[in-house]
Amino acid sequence: MAAVAVPRGWAARPSSPPNVAARRAFAWPFRAPLTPDPVLGNPRGRTRHAAPEAVRSLAVQRASRHGLSLTAPSRTVGGVDPCVEQADVVVVGAGPAGSAAAVALARAGRQPLLLDRAAFPRDKPCGDLIGARALAWARRLGVDELDLAPYPRLAGAVLTADDGRLDLAPMTHLGRVLLRRSDARVIPRATFDHALVRAAERVGAEVRQATVREVGPWLPGVGREVLGQGPEGAVRLRARAVVVAGGYGCRVAADVAPSPRGDGEPARGIAIRGYFAGVDAAPDRIVFCLDAWVLPGYGWVFPLPDGRANVGVGTLVPGDGTEREHLRELYARFTTDPASPAAAWLERATALGPPRAWPLDLGPRRRRLVADGLLVAGEAGAFVGPLTGAGIAFALESGARAGTTVAAALAAGGAEAATIAPYARAIRRRFDPWLRAEAAAQRRLSDPSRLRAFLDRVRPLPPTAALGARLLLHLG
Ligand SMILES: Cc1cc2nc3c(=O)[nH]c(=O)nc-3n(C[C@H](O)[C@H](O)[C@H](O)COP(=O)(O)OP(=O)(O)OC[C@H]3O[C@@H](n4cnc5c(N)ncnc54)[C@H](O)[C@@H]3O)c2cc1C
């Protein structure tokens, strides 16, 4: 049996190409306090940690099963010699942002390790509207067309408000031509995100289930340590760079952790959605309900195949701790009140399980996006439109750009902050104007009289249907 010499500060490293099974053998226990989420409390629950000695002996046994021997520990933690698994680039979170980063990294010849606390396919509370920008990115990232095929292309939208409805579906040939390139669909996130994860695996990313507790400080010339917990025990990795793509409020790295809301920044959002069967809605129209009682948010009915639909309500967080109760009241009224704008579609519908709520980090926010060996992508960077709550397109684009940037930096020598700073500049240049425009529109249109005046003004204009549909299908 071969003994692998382990240099000080590193764990046994299998030779290239990376032997995944052998790398798994070097998981090591780690304890870190959980940071409670201000909105969700602690949704992740507590994890039990195995005793360090027991896990070390397991690691030694596994190493020996893979023909390796654990000879020299790197350094001491709590009096025990830990083993640190080496990774090239670790991506925290396998949502759209993380998968996009992993695809970009793998395509650039890196070996991304994509960690997610959930096993895929996993649900993510969402409206499931994969807008035209998001779908174009997903295709660019190699998502399988077979995964998209069951979900029809959207052909328009319907807006309802207290004084009527506005049908935004192009009626003329010119309008239909305008919409031809706007391929947007409603695809459950359990399916869409899994398709992206598989796209990342196909190009060589390794996907592993683990909850990351902490990304350690920068070790010059080395990288960062990533500490967490997987189903088989603790995980301790050392990576040359880390992409943080853990979604809402991801606080795993102290030097890029989200700060409290700053002056002039938008309130946080919160939304709830449930699935219904037997919904009487056009299969190719998304419905937005903007009645005064639901402002400053909106309700939606987004159709899925076979008469199913994703139905939800989103609003801003008032900041007084009543958000969950308020949201549930809005949802109950939206889905069950016969006077609700959704009643026409839901009259004969039945709920498929309980609804799920989740917060949204609406942008733009002053947030640090890069530090030495670290990039933040997706909703962890608050890239979510404050008018629509749409964040998937931003997540995919930022993830892909993060992956490309860090791969180029590593190829050129290292991922120090100065080398990866172009990522932050490009993201700010591309996203901030859009997010600011949405924030301005959100402020104006959350006033019912202004919303009514706006709808009255655009309703009679001939291009409203085609342009309105195109705009709505491109918001995500
Ligand atoms: C109710 C609701 C409706 C929405 N509707 C839409 C919509 O219709 N269209 C749209 O474009 N956007 C919508 N959004 C916004 C959209 O869901 C997010 O912007 C998008 O999911 C962000 O993608 P992401 O990859 O950054 O994060 P996520 O999709 O949140 O993925 C993050 C991943 O990281 C994992 N993770 C988190 N922490 C850790 C950790 N410590 N260790 C390991 N893994 C971790 C999570 O398990 C998750 O898989 C909606 C949001 C909500 C709440």
Domain ranges of the chain: 84-123+191-261+364-433, 154-186+269-360+446-474
What pLDDT is recorded for position 320? 66
Quick one: fold of 154-186+269-360+446-474?
A: D-Amino Acid Oxidase; Chain A, domain 2 (3.30.9)
Question: Which of 90, 114, 124 should be mutated for ligand 1, with most atoms under 8 A from CB?
Answer: 124
For residue 186, give the ligand 1 atom closest to its CA. 8
Q: What is the mean pLDDT of residues 443-466?
A: 86
- Whether ligand 1 lies within 6 angstroms of the CB of 125 is answered as yes
User: pLDDT tens digit string along 173-195?
Assistant: 888 888 888 999 999 999 999 99
- Residue 271 CA: which ligand 1 atom is closest? 1
Instruction: Name, in order, each residue with C-beta under 8 angstroms of 440's C-beta and a sequence gap of 6 or more.
Output: none
Portion of the chain with pLDDT greater than 90, in percent? 65
Ligand 1: centre distance to CA 379 (Å): 7
Distance 378 CA to ligand 1 centre (A): 8
Exposed e or buried b per residue across 19-46, where buried means at least 16 C-beta atoms within 10 angstroms of its C-beta = eeebbbbbbbbbeeeeeeeebeeeeeee
Pocket flag, ligand 1, residue 271 (CB < 6 Å)? yes
- Atom 26 of ligand 1, nearest CA residue: 378
Q: For the chain, what percent of residues have pLDDT higher than 70?
A: 82
Q: How far apart are CA 106 and CA 399, in angstroms?
A: 13
pLDDT of residue 376: 98
Contacts of 319 (CB under 8 A, 6+ apart): 267
Angle among Cα 453, 455, 458 to the nearest 5 degrees reads: 110
What's residue 453's pLDDT? Answer: 87
Tell me if 250 CB under 6 Å of ligand 1: yes
Fold entry, domain 84-123+191-261+364-433: FAD/NAD(P)-binding domain (3.50.50)
Half-sphere exposure of 446 (CA within 13 A, CB side): 17
Residue 248 CA: which ligand 1 atom is closest?
30
Task: Read off the pTM.
Answer: 0.85
223 ligand 1 Cβ < 6 A: no
**C-beta of 372 in contact with ligand 1 (< 6 A):** no
Alpha-carbon gap, residue 428 to 420, rounded angstroms: 14
* Ligand 1 nearest atom to the CA of residue 361, by list position: 19
Nearest CA to ligand 1 atom 19: 391
Query: Could you tell me the distance, in angstroms and rounded to a whole number, from the CA of residue 93 to the centre of ligand 1?
Result: 9
Q: CA 64 to CA 207: how far, in whole Å?
A: 23
With 0-12 / 13-18 / 19 or more C-beta atoms within 10 angstroms meaning exposed / middle / buried, residue 326 is middle
Contact 241, 92 (CB under 8 A): no
